Structure 1
Amino acid sequence: PFRRPIMTAQFDDDLVDDVTVGLQIQQFLDEWHFRVLHSGLASEWDRSQALIKAMEIFESCGMDISQEEKEGLADASEADMIEGLVQRMPMSLKRMLEHLLLQLQLVLSTATRVRNSLEEGSADEVAKIME
């Protein structure tokens, strides 16, 4: 019978490709910007503020990044910012990034729908979303 090999931590680390992580971050940030615009937060946040909020999510998940670094990356080109985020991201976060970003997208989508329904004064729609 075929037995699947047991992966060691070292082998797992080799499976995490920084290019793939960078693409995942880029896709998340594209979705993030869309949700910021769609939710009406764009009237309250500029591009840098929206990016810093996204970086704060990564920070809360284990990325070690200072406020000064967040501000610097938010003002950098998209390629430099993504490279900087990938470099600062611990391996543990890189390993679970795909799952984390899918969960965040679900939360963002739901939060956007709730916010829009509240702004429209539709309590029934909010209740429907939360079911």
Structure 2
Amino acid sequence: MSQLSFSDAEGQAKRKQTRREKFLLEMDKLLPWSELERPIARYYSKSLRGRKPFPLSSMLRIHCMQLFYNLSDPAMEDTLYEVESMRRFAEISIDTVPDETTILNFRHLLERHNLGKKLFSKINKHLA
């Protein structure tokens, strides 16, 4: 993540940790992120031309937050702009929030290669 914005810095100075922050912190520690990224990495864009793709780890974390909070693609984009703790969990800054189409394309990538089922089974296996 790059330099903190004013809104990010303001969020770090508050005293009370919210339930959302506690939950996301627990998910960050609990889930085996590198293991979950491995099956996606072979399909994820490594484009050397055009716009640089968002980091796979950030997109996976954003996808998980969509599932945790039942958010649509446009709602996820709006929430990332509004909620600093969710940006921190996704390891992005307010300047690097992916748009709803990028979020949609990542979800479609997972669906196209049946990766959602694989992720779900890896998570269940890890939690068992």
TM-score by length of 2: 0.33
More helix by share: 1
Larger radius of gyration: 1
